[in-house]
Each structure stands twice: as C-alpha cells, then as structure tokens.
C-alpha cells in the first residue's frame, strides 16, 4: 500500500455522465494534489489543496470540479467530459512545511479514465 | 513551458550495466526530485536533492545537480530487471506548491 488510495482504479464513462474520483491519504499530510497523465505528455498539475484550501488551479476546464472536505480526502467530480479527457488521473499528498518547502509527493496508483 | 525535460526518452540496457538519465530545467529551484513509475502504477519518490547540494547517493542511485547548467543526472548502478520503469524528474517553483514533471525516461533492463 502506498498510503494514498484512489478509487475506482478504472472508470469508463459517456460524455453525458457525471462521476467522481476519490482519493484518501493515511499519511497525515496537509496538502493534496490532482495530476493528469496522458500518453507521451508530461504530468499535468490540475489542482492543489493545502489545509483544505485550494491554492492552485492550473487553468483546468470547469467540467473538472475538485472538492477537499478534510485533509485526508480529495475528490474530483467529472461531468460532460470529452474523449480527450481520457487519461490516468493521479492523486498525491505531501507535507507542506512552508510555502517554499514541501516534502516529496506520495502518489496513489491512479484512476484510469476512459471517456466514450 | 514545462520545467523538467528528461533525456533520453528511452533507454535499453543489459542487466548489470549502469543507466544514466538526464534532466534539464528552466527556472531557479528549491529542490529537484527523481521519481520512478512502473507501468499502470503511481509514481514513487526515489531521491531529493536541494539546490545547495551537488551530489547525493541512495543505495544504487547517484544524483548530481548542476544549478549553473540547470541540469541533473540520475545514475543507477548495476541495474536489475526490476529497475525497468519510467523515471521522472520534478522541480518545484519557488514560492508555489507546484511540482513540475517532465515526460520521463523509459528504462528497459534486459535480463
């Protein structure tokens, strides 16, 4: 176990569906992240939450909506997605000691999303 | 533009050989990290080197950092088939929570 658990592991959804990805960390960290990993592209940072406050929103389309109800849980709500949104969505956590210093990221194993 | 870029994109070596991967970045950093990703899994942190460090070791891993050239290298000595994975460097942007990753180097170690 990595300490960061993502569910579901695989998700197939139509463009009109609404679904949510869930991430839970058991490491006592205070920052959580969503990354998107597409083939042959760098990991794209989507959102960062620190102490349950969103501190980064990397120009992500509004069809992706994050939610961080507490420091252990992070959700990514999906609606009216496009086929190009198919990718591996990775959640990560870290301990943010100060704005200029974070501990290394701990990743979950991701949700493989396919939009049909 | 992306911060870290790994080179080469793909590397295939025989078991027991050394593997060297390089990373270049564009802006000033607080630290640089290397991660490994096995197929279909999440990334695993390997090693962190701070901007005031030049070299760091961890087991069979050796990382160097040259801030004047904005580059880093990861050396895996005496490689094993289990080292087959993609390797990524990640840099932080000073004053933000962002860790920026490159496209990675796909390493294949042949038994």
Nearest Cα neighbor of B29 from B48, B43, B6 is B48
Enumerate the β-bridge partners of residue B23: B6, B72
pLDDT digits (tens, 9 = 90+) for A67-82: 999 999 999 999 999 9
pLDDT digits (tens, 9 = 90+) for B66-75: 999 999 999 9
Percent of chain B with pLDDT over 90: 73
Q: Given this model, what pLDDT does residue B38 score? A: 95
Taking contacts as CB-CB distances below 8 angstroms, the residues of chain A near B99 are 33, 45, 102, 105
Residue A97's pLDDT band (cuts 50, 70, 90): low
Percent of chain A with pLDDT over 90: 70
Burial class for B57, CB neighbours closer than 10 Å (0-12, 13-18, 19+)? exposed
Radius of gyration of chain B (CA): 13
pLDDT above 90 for B64: yes
pLDDT digits (tens, 9 = 90+) for A36-60: 999 878 899 999 998 777 777 778 9
d(CA A41, CA B4): 12
d(CA A21, CA A91): 10
pLDDT digits (tens, 9 = 90+) for B3-44: 568 889 999 999 999 999 999 998 888 889 999 999 989 999
pLDDT above 70 for B95: no
Give the CA angle between residues B79, A38, A72 to the nearest 5°.
85
pLDDT above 70 for A109: yes
- Is it true that the peptide bond before A8 is cis, omega within 30 degrees of 0? yes
The set of residues, in sequence order, having a beta carbon less than 8 Å from that of B28 and lying 6+ positions away, is B51, B67, B94
Is-contact A78 A60, C-beta < 8 A?
no
d(CA A93, CA A49): 9
d(CA A70, CA A82): 29
Residue B61's pLDDT band (cuts 50, 70, 90): very high
Q: Given this model, what pLDDT does residue B1 score? A: 39
Q: Given this model, what pLDDT does residue B28 score? A: 85
pLDDT above 50 for B58: yes
| A85: phi then psi, degrees, rounded to nearest 5 | -80, -5
Instruction: Say if the Cβ atoms of A42 and B41 lie within 8 Å.
Output: no
User: Mutate which of A104, A111, A114 to disrupt the B interface (most B C-beta within 10 Å)?
Assistant: A104
Instruction: Say if the Cβ atoms of B90 and A105 lie within 8 Å.
Output: yes
CA nearest A54 in B: which residue? B97
Top-confidence residue, A51 or B107: B107
Q: Given this model, what pLDDT does residue B2 score? A: 44
């Amino acid at each position: 176990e990595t300490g960061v658990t993502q569910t579901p592991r695989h998700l197939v959804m139509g463009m009109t569906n609404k679904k949510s990805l869930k991430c839970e960390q058991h490491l006592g960290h205070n920052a959580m992240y969503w990354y998107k990993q597409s083939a042959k592209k760098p990991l794209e940072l989507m959102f960062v939450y620190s102490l349950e406050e969103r501190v980064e929103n990397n120009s992500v389309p509004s069809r992706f909506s994050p939610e961080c109800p507490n420091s252990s849980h992070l959700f990514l709500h999906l609606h009216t997605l496009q086929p190009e949104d198919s990718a591996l969505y990775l959640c990560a956590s870290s301990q943010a000691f100060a704005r200029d210093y974070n501990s290394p990221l701990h990743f979950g194993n991701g949700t493989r999303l396919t939009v049909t | 533009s992306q911060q870290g870029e790994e080179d080469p994109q793909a590397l295939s070596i025989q078991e027991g050989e050394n593997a060297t991967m390089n990373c270049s970045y564009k802006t000033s950093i607080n630290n640089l990290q290397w991660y490994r990703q096995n197929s279909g899994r999440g990334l695993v942190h390997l090693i962190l080197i701070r901007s005031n460090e030049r070299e760091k070791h961890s087991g069979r891993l050796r990382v160097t950092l040259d801030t004047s050239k904005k580059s880093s290298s990861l050396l895996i000595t005496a490689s094993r088939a289990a080292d087959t994975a993609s390797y990524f460097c990640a840099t932080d942007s000073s004053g933000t929570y962002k860790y920026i990753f490159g496209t990675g180097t796909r390493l294949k170690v042949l038994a």
